[in-house]
Amino acid sequence: MIPFSLLFTVSILAGFVGAMSGMGGGIVLIPALTLLGVNIKHAIAISILSVIATSSGSASAYVRDHITNLKVGMFLEMFTIVGALVGAGITLASSPRPLFIAFGCVLLGSWVALLAAGHMSWQGSPAQDAVSRWLELEGSYYDQVLGQTIRYTARRAHLGALLMFGAGIIAGLLGIGAGAVKVLIHDLVMGLPPKVSTTTSNLIIGVTALAGTSVYLAAGLINPGLAAPVILGVVFGAFLGTRLLVRLSNKSVRSFFLVVLLVLAVEMMVRGLRGV
Amino acid sequence: MDALLGYVLLGGVLLSMALVLAGLLWRWLNSGQPWLDYQIVGMNLFEFVESGFRTAALGEARPRLLINLGIAVLMLTPYLRVVASMVYFMTVSKNWKYALFTAVVLIVLTYSLFLR
């Protein structure tokens, strides 16, 4: 049996890394748990439970700061939660090795995305399409850094919705928040300003994770004795991570994560291909 | 309104963490180690909570109950947030389009919480 302190420590680390990288705890937690000997489906179930905690925690701050766009969130949630149910269902039916490979692919994708992340500054809202206008997808928020109120509109809601369904599948399938994907959709597809993208994503992630968790709960894959130290650790680690994040330079954080992601990606892929 | 949603989220997480921590500490005090190993055998959230309360009513409260409650609270946190959003769209901003969207989310979530 895995020593409690080890489990707890690993979870704190996962939460910490997740919060600092903005990639979420699941990405690091699941490989770590499987290395400790936890069955991958159990790891996925526990991870998605912990995602509820971490995303709700961070979303709460942003919602109170009025940066999150509730309408965009609610609209897209309709699609992500169905995706999560589908994804979790697939995982239940799947055998372990494809899950490892899928996980490795997502990690690799995240690595590529992080590597390629130039900073496209937000260009302001181009013309909005009719669907998005009907959906009232617009808003404004006060940006403390810029010292002004930014107004924006969202667009291509139909495309965003479809892609969000896909993001939901990934989240439910792999027990992660898939925050990176969701932020990209908000940002690149729907044209929302970065802060609104990140914060609204966080809100959506919580609900999506709930949908996934219910499936795993019903399937009996949640071991509360195992989950308890993990979720406590992850939340605590994430708390520490967000505190520390402001003090570190972007560059050092980024380099560190590029390494971690690549190592984990290769490791998961290899295990999937060679047999766990 | 945003403030309320924020507090629901934060409160939910804090409460659930407190319950889980309390359960683990209780177990640790009882038996010298904070380890439990048990499975929730394929039940849905409502059965889960209900069985927990039944156990408590029988006076057999155990650390396990606290941990289960903590998990249940955690799962209900986003759910409650969606409920609050729907109430907001219905009563405060009277936005029926979004009340509908929120209702859709709520229905799907409720369905998933009743899965077994």
For residue A148, the model assigns a pLDDT of 76
For residue B43, the model assigns a pLDDT of 67
For residue B79, the model assigns a pLDDT of 93
Give the residue on A whose Cα is nearest the Cα of B77: A56
State pLDDT tens for residues A182-217: 877 777 788 888 778 888 888 899 999 999 999 998
Contact A217 B34 (CB under 8 A): no
Angstroms from A49 CA to nearest CA on chain B: 8
Q: Identify the CA nearest to A59 among candidates A185, A153, A197.
A: A197
For residue A215, the model assigns a pLDDT of 92
Give the residue on A whose Cα is nearest the Cα of B68: A224
Nearest neighbour of A224 by CB, restricted to B5, B17, B40: B40
Cβ proximity of A129 and A155 under 8 Å? yes
Judge whether residue A49 has pLDDT over 90: yes
Cβ proximity of A149 and A142 under 8 Å? yes
Q: Identify the CA nearest to A27 among candidates A164, A168, A166, A179.
A: A179
Is residue A133 very low, low, confident or very high in pLDDT (cuts 50, 70, 90)? confident
Candidates B1, B16, B20: best to mutate against A (most CBs of A within 10 A) is: B20
- Is residue A214 helix, strand or coil? helix
Angstroms from A89 CA to nearest CA on chain B: 11
| Cα–Cα distance, B104 to B52 (Å, whole number) | 29
Roughly how many angstroms between the first and final C-alpha of chain B, as a whole number?
34
- For every residue of B37-49, DSSP letters joined together read -----S--HHHHH
Cβ proximity of A200 and A69 under 8 Å? yes
For residue A120, the model assigns a pLDDT of 47
Q: Identify the CA nearest to A237 among candidates A64, A50, A76, A60.
A: A50
Nearest neighbour of A210 by CB, restricted to B70, B79, B97: B79
For residue A66, the model assigns a pLDDT of 77
Nearest neighbour of A77 by CB, restricted to B3, B95, B105: B105
Chain B contact set for A231 (CB, 8 A): 17, 20, 71, 74
Nearest neighbour of A224 by CB, restricted to B2, B67, B81: B67
Q: Once rounded to an integer, what is the mean pLDDT over residues A62-68?
A: 75
Contact A223 B37 (CB under 8 A): yes
Judge whether residue A266 has pLDDT over 70: yes
Q: Once rounded to an integer, what is the mean pLDDT over residues A252-272?
A: 82
| Cα–Cα distance, B9 to B20 (Å, whole number) | 17
Cβ proximity of A206 and A216 under 8 Å? no
Greater model confidence, A120 or A255: A255
Give the residue on A whose Cα is nearest the Cα of B16: A53
Contact B105 A53 (CB under 8 A): no
- In sequence order, the 6+-apart residues with CB closer than 8 A to the CB of A248 are A20
Judge whether residue B24 has pLDDT over 50: yes
Cβ proximity of A235 and A29 under 8 Å? no
Give the residue on B whose Cα is nearest the Cα of A6: B35
For residue A83, the model assigns a pLDDT of 94
For residue B9, the model assigns a pLDDT of 86
For residue A119, the model assigns a pLDDT of 47
- How much is the pTM? 0.85
For residue B68, the model assigns a pLDDT of 84
How far from chain centre, in Å, is Cα A175?
A: 9
Angstroms from B112 CA to nearest CA on chain A: 6
For residue A137, the model assigns a pLDDT of 76
Highest mean pLDDT among B19-23, B33-37, B65-69, B76-80: B76-80
- For every residue of A149-184, DSSP letters joined together read EEEEE---HHHHHHHHHHHHHHHHHHTS--HHHHHH
Strand partners, A150: A141
Is residue B42 very low, low, confident or very high in pLDDT (cuts 50, 70, 90)? low
% pLDDT > 90, chain B: 27
Is residue A178 very low, low, confident or very high in pLDDT (cuts 50, 70, 90)? confident
- Average model confidence (pLDDT) for chain A? 83
Give the side-chain half-sphere CA count within 13 A for B30: 13
Nearest neighbour of B101 by CB, restricted to A63, A75, A231: A75
Angstroms from A140 CA to nearest CA on chain B: 14
Q: Once rounded to an integer, what is the mean pLDDT over residues B7-27?
A: 88
- Is residue A32 helix, strand or coil? helix
Chain A contact set for B101 (CB, 8 A): 74-75, 78
Contact B35 A82 (CB under 8 A): no
Q: Between vectors from CA A111 to CA A102 and to CA A184, what angle results, nearest 5°?
A: 90
Count structural domains, chain B. 1
ipTM of the prediction: 0.85
| Tokens, residue B65 | 């109950």
Chain B contact set for A209 (CB, 8 A): 78
| Structural domain range at position B57 | 2-113
Question: What torsion, rounded to 10 degrees, do the Cα atoms A33, A163, A63, A46 define?
Answer: -20
Judge whether residue A84 has pLDDT over 90: yes
Chain B contact set for A61 (CB, 8 A): 6, 10
Angstroms from B31 CA to nearest CA on chain A: 14
State pLDDT tens for residues B59-109: 656 777 788 888 989 999 999 999 999 998 888 888 888 899 999 999 999
